[in-house]
Amino acid sequence: MNIEEYISSGIIENYVLGLTSPEENLEVEEMSARHPEVARAIEAYRHTMDAYSSLHAVKPPEQLKARIIDAIRTENSNPPQESATLMSNNTKENAAVILLRKWKRWAIAATILLIVSLVFNGIYIGKYQKSRDSYTTLLQSQQRLAAQNNTMEARLVKVEKNMQVLMNPAMKSVVMEGVNNHPGMLATIYWDAESRQTYLGTTNLPVPPKGMAYQLWAIVDGKPVDMGMYNPADQKGLLSMKDVIPGKIQAFAITLEKQGGSPAPTMDQMYVMGKI
């Protein structure tokens, strides 16, 4: 049971009215010490009871004081038997008055208990619903911000890496232009003559047909060497390709091949080529 359910269970009202058992009293006091919401609920109900008692307080009849004084005088002047009889009558009358007052008090307390319980239930259920909705909205916002932050961090890391590659003095660039039936196609390859690392830059190659992909080639010592597969739809910034094998590089080229690559380039499917 959560705090809202505990408060709305009615035990707070019973505790203030003195209707709880010693075990329940101990439980309420422990809950009040641990949870400020319970302490505030107890204090609020006590204020409500005090205000209601003041508003509906029953003033004793004016003649009651005179009757009490007359009873005292009669007791002092009458014989013991008459005094005892009068006292007995007064005791019965006072007991009836006390019993009536107690009955009225319990009736008022029961009414207040019902009203206050309904009010507190409505208030805390409304607050609970509002708090739950606010928490859900806040949690969703935090999750969105966290996702956006992770995306931005990944992009920044990518940009920093690309800048390091481009600013490397040993890095050379080769522009590959469209050939045969692919005029206007462009692609840029960056390669480090010392480390033999290569990176494919932005291209304007069209998205390949289903089951097909582009393959990068390096012409080393007159022979085509596979440098890896490429799909424009997957490219974000520089794309790291395979390292160039030792030897003299004469050119770079890109051909359209079956998904998974080919051991040798399909010459009639060459899209771009750049000589060094």
Q: Residue 166: inside a domain, yes or no?
A: no
Two structure tokens written together for 131? 């708090």
In a domain, 47, yes or no: yes
Q: Which pLDDT belongs to residue 59?
A: 55
DSSP state of 61: P
On whether both 93 and 194 belong to a single domain, the answer is no
Mean pLDDT of 171-192: 90
Do 118 and 245 lie in one domain? The reply is no
Examine the domain organization and report whether 69 and 179 are in the same domain.
Answer: no
Residue 160 lies in a domain: no
| pLDDT score of 137 | 77
Residue 139 lies in domain:
3-147
The 10s digit of each residue's pLDDT in 102-146 is 565 665 666 666 665 655 566 656 665 666 677 677 777 777 777
121 and 181 share one domain:
no
Query: Is residue 158 situated within a structural domain?
Result: no
For residues 240 and 131, state if they share a domain: no
Do 142 and 179 belong together in one domain?
A: no
Q: What is the mean pLDDT of the chain?
A: 77
Same domain, 33 and 122: yes
Q: Which of 115, 147, 179 is the last residue of a domain?
A: 147
Residue 56 lies in a domain: yes
83: in domain: yes
Within a 13 Å sphere around the CA of 276, how many CA atoms are in the beta-carbon half?
A: 17
Looking at the fold, whether 15 and 63 belong to one and the same domain comes out as: yes
DSSP label at residue 237:
S
175 shares a domain with 104: no
Q: Rounded distance, CA 275 to CA 259, Å?
A: 26
Tokens of 34: 């641990």
pLDDT at 142: 72
- How confident is residue 43, by pLDDT bands cut at 50, 70 and 90? confident
CA–CA dist 44, 41 (Å, integer): 5
Residue 119 and residue 42 in one domain: yes
Residue 159 within any structural domain of the chain: no
Instruction: Using a cut of 0.75, tell me whether the model's pTM lies above it.
Output: no
Specify if 153 maps to a domain.
no
Output the pLDDT for position 67.
59
Q: How many domains does the chain have?
A: 2
Cβ 218 vs Cβ 225: under 8 Å: yes
